């Protein structure tokens, strides 16, 4: 049998070809998040604060929908590989069903909890009002986001990743176009302010969902979403959720972290919350290429581990670390030299500009540490050590960063709160290096004995 290209193709070319489409898709989403916030910033600092406080809950919808998608993909791909077409179709149908259930749950319970969710992050009545209105629209029409993610995952699971990227690009560009029309009332559109940003978001998501549905019907020959005699199958649901729930929980960690730190920063005023929100929007342009490469290296290492190609594993690991460190170093330099220019895109007040410049410079010290942790996490996953990856990510995003931010906030000095990020990332990197040494001794070096 002819060997898969992951076993012989030059590593730089292979890693680039697999990682680049993933990274581009992520960068498209990052671009949307930045442009969306730039438009909202024209409404004022409190409007941007309201959207920033709603952001963790939007991430939560995303997390659970992606979790279902990951579980669906794992089960669907297994059945496709075994030539069980009917079971594969049922997996796709159940994935859609479960995503619609996720959307309904957020629409019902999310709208009930939105006043408390925003209120826990601020006491400002204007911000709470705008935040709740924005969030309620996102919750009520989350069917668009859940549906879009489901359609993208179906395309990815059947080897049609390029169509998945088209769906993402279509939705993001449409959102960017619609934002000013709904926010400022351009042409014959009503002027809706913050609500308009939410309307533009859910409208683009619903249309992107329909576009993805069309692509799966017309272009995806691997699955039949209209397969007859559909019935709810408990085993398929369990199979999807067994993989999907842990994935959803891990993705949700960052959402919880941002939510809790927003609540801590609220004591320093809306500008502090907005500064952190801007940081996350801007830093995504630095981090997304690394996450894309991280996703790309996992199947390469896993394949060569199974094939006994020890040298290729070391090669891809070294390349991934080098690229990540270079990208993060460039990002660090940009954040150190041009923080005021980065903040300037969001029409900041003098207070916000002052806070944001300090925040961007301090938090960006974490970039180099994060590069090592993120790539290490991907390597752990490729060897089936999901627990090690989970520990590193929990340390990075929750276990240390939130308590440190809380303790530093008690000094009453906002600058100290930003230090929680590089300190937590440094700890995570040291743990990742320790784990990496063990994986090298117990997994990689032993590959020679199996060759």
Task: Tell me if the pTM is above 0.85.
Answer: yes
Say which residues have a Cβ less than 8 Å from residue 95's Cβ, sequence separation at least 6.
68, 69, 71, 72, 76, 150, 153, 154, 240
State the SS3 of 159-171.
CCHHHHHHHHHHH
Report pLDDT for 217.
Answer: 95
Query: Quick one: tokens of 380?
Result: 């752990």
- Closest C-alpha to 371, from 286, 451, 302: 286
Say which residues have a Cβ less than 8 Å from residue 188's Cβ, sequence separation at least 6.
none
- Closest C-alpha to 22, from 401, 417, 298: 298
pLDDT along the chain (451 residues), means of 10: 68 85 78 85 94 93 90 83 87 96 97 96 94 97 96 84 86 92 95 96 96 95 90 93 84 91 94 95 91 83 83 94 97 98 95 97 97 93 83 93 97 97 98 96 76 44
Which of the 8 DSSP states describes residue 4? P
Cβ contact 288:27 at 8 Å: yes
Query: Quick one: tokens of 213?
Result: 């549905």
Longest Cα separation, the chain: 71
For residue 122, the Cα-to-chain-centroid distance in whole angstroms is 25
Q: Is 311 helix (H, G, I), strand (E, B) or coil?
A: helix
Place of tokens 């960052």: 254
| Helix intervals (H) in 227-269 | 234-265
Taking CA atoms, 93 is separated from 163, 235, 242, 420, 451, in Å, by 19, 14, 17, 44, 42
Place of tokens 């959102």: 175
Tell me how far apart the alpha carbons of residues 417 and 103 are, in angstroms, rounded to a whole number.
Answer: 35
Tell me how far apart the alpha carbons of residues 353 and 348 are, in angstroms, rounded to a whole number.
Answer: 5
Query: Quick one: tokens of 151?
Result: 């359609």
What would the DSSP string read from start to end of 74-143?
HHHHHHHHTT-HHHHHHHHHHHHHHHHHHHHHIIIIIHHHHHHHHHTT---HHHHHHHHHHHHHHHHTTH
Taking CA atoms, 343 is separated from 318, 336, 356, in Å, by 34, 12, 7
Report pLDDT for 225.
Answer: 94
Tell me how far apart the alpha carbons of residues 426 and 173 are, in angstroms, rounded to a whole number.
Answer: 36
Cβ contact 200:184 at 8 Å: no
Q: How many CB atoms lie within 10 A of CB 19?
A: 22
What value does the CA radius of gyration of the chain take, rounded to a whole number of Å? 22
Q: Is 2 helix (H, G, I), strand (E, B) or coil?
A: coil
């Amino acid at each position: 049998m002819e060997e898969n290209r992951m076993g012989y193709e030059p590593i730089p070319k292979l890693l680039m070809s697999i990682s680049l489409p993933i990274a581009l898709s992520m960068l498209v989403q990052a671009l949307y998040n930045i442009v969306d916030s730039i438009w909202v910033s024209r409404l004022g600092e409190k409007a941007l604060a309201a959207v920033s406080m709603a952001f963790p809950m939007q991430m939560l919808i995303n997390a659970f929908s992606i979790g279902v998608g990951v579980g669906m993909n794992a089960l669907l791909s297994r059945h496709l590989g075994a030539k069980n077409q009917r079971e594969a179709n049922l997996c796709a149908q159940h994935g859609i069903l479960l995503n619609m259930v996720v959307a309904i749950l957020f629409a019902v319970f999310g709208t009930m909890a939105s006043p408390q969710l925003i209120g826990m992050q601020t006491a400002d009545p204007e911000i709470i009002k705008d935040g709740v209105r924005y969030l309620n629209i996102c919750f009520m029409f989350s069917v668009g986001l859940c549906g879009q993610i489901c359609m993208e995952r179906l395309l990815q699971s059947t080897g049609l990743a390029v169509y998945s990227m088209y769906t993402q690009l279509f939705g993001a560009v449409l959102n960017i176009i619609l934002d000013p029309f709904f926010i400022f009332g351009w042409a014959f559109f009503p002027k809706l302010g913050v609500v308009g940003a939410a309307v533009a978001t859910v409208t683009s998501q619903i249309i992107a969902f329909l576009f993805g549905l069309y692509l799966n019907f017309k272009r995806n020959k691997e699955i039949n979403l209209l397969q007859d005699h559909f019935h709810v199958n408990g085993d398929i649901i369990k199979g999807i959720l067994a993989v999907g729930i842990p994935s959803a929980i891990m993705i949700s960690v960052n959402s919880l972290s941002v939510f809790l730190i927003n609540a801590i920063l609220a004591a320093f005023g809306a500008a502090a919350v907005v500064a952190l929100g801007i940081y996350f929007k801007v830093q995504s342009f630095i981090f997304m290429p690394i996450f894309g490469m991280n996703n790309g290296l996992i199947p390469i290492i896993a394949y060569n581990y199974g094939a006994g190609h020890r040298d290729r594993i070391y090669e891809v690991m070294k390349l991934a670390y080098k690229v990540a460190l270079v990208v993060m170093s460039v990002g660090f330099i940009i954040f150190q030299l041009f923080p005021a220019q980065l903040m300037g895109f969001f029409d900041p007040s003098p207070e916000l500009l002052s806070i944001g410049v300090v925040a961007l410079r301090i938090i960006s010290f974490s970039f180099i540490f994060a590069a090592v942790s993120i790539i290490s996490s991907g390597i752990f996953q490729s060897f089936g050590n999901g627990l090690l990856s989970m520990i590193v990510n929990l340390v990075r995003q929750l276990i240390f960063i939130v308590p440190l931010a809380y303790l530093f906030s008690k000094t009453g000095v906002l600058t100290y709160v930003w230090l929680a990020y590089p300190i937590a990332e440094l700890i995570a990197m040291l743990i990742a290096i320790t784990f990496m040494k063990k994986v090298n001794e117990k997994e990689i070096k032993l590959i020679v004995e199996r060759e």
